[in-house]
Homo-oligomer: A and B are copies of this chain.
Amino acid sequence: MNIILLDKEDFISRTRVCLKDRRLRHVLDVHRASPGDALTVGLLNGPVGTARITSLSLEALEMEVELDRQPPAPLPVTLILSLPRPKMLKRVLFAAASMGVKKIFLINSFRVEKSYWNSPLLQEERMRDHLLSGLEQALDTFMPQVLLKPLFKPFVEDELPEMVHGSCALVAHPEAAKPCPRDTNRDVLLAVGPEGGFIAYEIEKLTSIGFLPVSLGKRPLRVEIALPALLARIF
């Protein structure tokens, strides 16, 4: 937690907050802070700044807050991700949020196990926890949006073509002949397959609407590793 994210409900006056939850515990246990200390804070979906501790006990933390800066810029990317297995989904949401991704479609594909769609991790509140941790890691405040698309074909045929328009649309595919582009100065739509990759039919569907298959090399990588690698290469 490199930044303490504040909700509007935390404010007890225009510039004063009172925290009693896991953020209080974090300040006590990890920061080991004292009254007078300054902490980095941000308003969820708003600016960032500094808070000075005015009182701190085991029950409550009060701070005087000044929000005077913008969080780091988001990445101009929309992520289209084959639903990973639940354990990996946590890490992928964290990684995406910490790297500045603001829109994620979780889609079905042939190699996604059906049971993954029943995971309690897909509950909005559960995903939000992992996204929030990613923001807290990266000094960011803007919550990414996650949309579930459990049907591949209607999503690719009816919704994706409009998004492709005007974007650089890439699908990560270990067997692709083209290397992943570097330092792209454009809006990017990035599709990433499941373990084992998209099947040929899925790659064909995506290329038919304008996606370019690109590769990071001959090594198949786990999604949680491929994602930071792709984003760092592309932007």
Contact = CB atoms under 8 A, between A and B. Distances in A.
A51 interface: no
Interface stretch (A59-67, A146-154, A223-231): A223-231
A206 B229 CA distance: 25
Nearest to A100: B219
Contact of A232 (B100, B137, B216, B220): B216
A95 interface: yes
A182 interface: yes
Given A228-B225, A228-B228, A219 B182 contact: no
A220 B133 CA distance: 12
Nearest to A180: B232
A139 B216 CA distance: 14
Contacts of A218: 72, 139
Interface in A196-235: 216-222, 225-226, 228-233
28 contacts: A2-B220, A72-B218, A72-B219, A94-B222, A95-B225, A98-B219, A98-B221, A98-B222, A98-B225, A99-B221, A99-B225, A100-B219, A137-B221, A137-B222, A138-B219, A138-B221, A139-B219, A140-B219, A182-B182, A182-B183, A216-B232, A221-B228, A226-B228, A229-B231, A229-B232, A232-B232, A232-B233, A233-B233
Given A137-B221, A216-B232, 14 more contacts: A2-B220, A98-B219, A98-B221, A98-B222, A98-B225, A99-B229, A100-B219, A137-B220, A137-B222, A228-B228, A229-B229, A230-B232, A232-B232, A232-B233
Interface of A: 2, 72, 94-95, 98-100, 137-140, 182-183, 216-222, 225-226, 228-233
